[in-house]
Structure 1
Amino acid sequence: MKFAKFCQALSNWSGSSKTFLTAILLIAAWALTGPYFHYNDTWQLIINTSTTIITFLMVFLIQNTQNRDNDILHLKLDELIRATKDAQNAFLSLDHLDSKELRELRKRYCTMGEEEEVSVDCTQTASVQAADIQKAAALPPAETPMP
């Protein structure tokens, strides 16, 4: 529990504008010292080693934060599914399905959407669908298609 709180606090700190500004200032200070050190190998090694270590640690921090956020999102969705009268409670355990089973389930829902005349293009990838949704959201209200 202490580790989770530490990671959350570190994530909040590392994502702040003050931390970003500090990083920019440190890089600028390092760059300005280049002529003094004649741009030698040690001068370059300082920035290379520092950024490598920070990047290595940040990968784990970001993954920890992403896992936590993902768990929270799933719990919220599970509660919405559980609380919705017409929802299928079988969806509460989708995280136990493998990729093939999830694709099959998606195909079934695409078929259901087509039967209900819902505009769903099941041949598109999720990223293309997300781009289409973003394009539609960017249209002025008068151009937005009616359902």
Structure 2
Amino acid sequence: MRKQRWFSRFAKSTARLSGRPLAFNLAVLTIAAWLISGPLFGFSDTWQLVINTATTIITFLMVFLIQNTQNRDTEAIQVKLDELIRATKGAHNALLDLEELEEHELDRFRQRYQLMAEQARAALSAGEADTETPEPSADGG
């Protein structure tokens, strides 16, 4: 458990830092230094291999760190959405935890909501309300 907390903190801070302008500027400076050093090394295969190897390793490791952060953020959003559904009167609790369903089950839900959206748009075009909630009026009624 302790190692997992350490990794989560590390991944989160690394993802946060790597998305800042300073990280981008450091990467640009590194590439510039590499390019400038080209003539010193005669643009050799080793000179090219250094940058290729470094960027490959950094990219490989960053994929896992950023994916870890993305997974946690997505889970937190899903929990928040589930709580909003659960706490909203009239909401369908069957919509809780949809992200765990198989694709064909999600497609059935999506089709139902697409039909409801089409009907609501048709109602709006006909001058009708698209919700069961009355519009607020200026006279408070």
TM-score normalised by the chain length of structure 2: 0.79
Partner of 1:7: 11
Partner of 2:63: 59
Tell me the C-alpha RMSD between the 2 structures: 1.4
Give the letter aligned to residue 11 of structure 1: A
Compare CA radii of gyration and give the structure with the larger one: 2
Aligned residues: 119
Partner of 1:20: 24
**From 57, 74, 89, the counterpart of 1:70:** 74
CA distance in 2, matches of 1:74, 1:31: 45
Partner of 2:111: 107
Query: How much has 1:35 moved relative to structure 2?
Result: 0.5
Which ranges of structure 1 fall in alignment gaps of 5 or more residues? 120-147
TM-score normalised by the chain length of structure 1: 0.76
Partner of 1:145: none
CA distance in 1, matches of 2:100, 2:37: 54
Partner of 1:128: none
Query: How much has 1:118 moved relative to structure 2?
Result: 5.5
CA distance in 2, matches of 1:36, 1:74: 53
Mark the CA change 1:118 to 1:84 in structure 2 (over 3 Å): closer, same or farther.
farther
**Which one scores higher on RCO, CA 8 angstroms, separation ≥ 6?**
2
CA deviations over 1:9-50 (Å, ceiling 9, x no partner):
111111111111011001100000000101001100000000
Query: How much has 1:116 moved relative to structure 2?
Result: 3.2
